[in-house]
Amino acid sequence: MEQVNVMHGPEASQMQPATSRQAYFMEQAFEMARKALDTGETPVGCVLVYEDQIVGSGMNDTNRSMNGTRHAEFLAIQEMLRKYPRSALHLTDLYVTVEPCVMCASALRQYRIRSVYFGCGNERFGGTGSILSLHSDLSIDPPYPVYGGLKHKEAIMLLRRFYIQENDKAPKPRPKKNRELNTKFDNDIESVDNTSVEK
């Protein structure tokens, strides 16, 4: 059974089993991430869940739009707000394949999202624990709980599949050497084939 790591609150750093609903919603986020990868975008996808229903979904759109703010989380919120009042976000959970960046984590705090579930950490730009912990800063707005690690290996593999590609939008694309997809994880003899975890 998939596990989630509690990142905030009295149960912080404890692993808990994911429910079937959490696994379902995270899989919907992964569907969006796969679509992003298929269109040349960084494979980050998300869904917003309000009253046990998906009310918004998004995938990164920064490369196509040439707009660095078109992150999956913003697009999902934009979709949700077309049909629901902003106050509904207080009772909404976000499922996202990669830990929200600092910009998105801050926006989620301002929108007062109820909670966030993510796949893998974001060691370069993470705003909910990897770099900064904007979700738990008591000096601003109420904190929101964060649960990480749900399908983390699949999230990492999608990112690896993206980053071994050439960036044809770069001013002068540099050829990448050793274009081999690494399917191994540190301290782990398991490997991942495409997007499914072998156990």
Q: Residue 50 forms beta bridges with which residues? A: 53, 92
**Residue pLDDT, tens place only, 44-85:** 999 999 999 999 999 999 999 999 999 999 999 999 999 999
pTM of the model: 0.81
Range of 26's domain? 20-162
State the DSSP code for 172.
S
The count of domains in the chain is 1
In a domain, 186, yes or no: no
In a domain, 4, yes or no: no
In a domain, 1, yes or no: no
**Residue pLDDT, tens place only, 26-38:** 999 999 999 999 9
In a domain, 185, yes or no: no
Q: Kindly report the CA angle at 148 between 43 and 70, in degrees rounded to 5?
A: 35
Catalytic residue among 2, 27, 73, 79: 73
In a domain, 134, yes or no: yes
In a domain, 72, yes or no: yes
76, 50 in Cβ contact below 8 A?
A: no
Residue 73 is among the residues annotated as catalytic for this protein: yes
Distant-in-sequence, close-in-space partners of 181: CB < 8 Å, separation ≥ 6? 157, 160, 161, 164
In a domain, 12, yes or no: no
Helix (H, G, I), strand (E, B) or coil at 35: helix
Q: Check which CATH number belongs to the domain holding 66 and give it.
A: 3.40.140.10
Question: What whole-number distance in Å separates Cα of residue 158 and Cα of residue 180?
Answer: 14
Question: What whole-number distance in Å separates Cα of residue 198 and Cα of residue 45?
Answer: 22
Distant-in-sequence, close-in-space partners of 69: CB < 8 Å, separation ≥ 6? 62, 103
DSSP-derived pairing of the beta strands 45-50 and 15-17? unpaired
What confidence tier does 170 reach under pLDDT thresholds 50, 70, 90?
Answer: low
In a domain, 194, yes or no: no
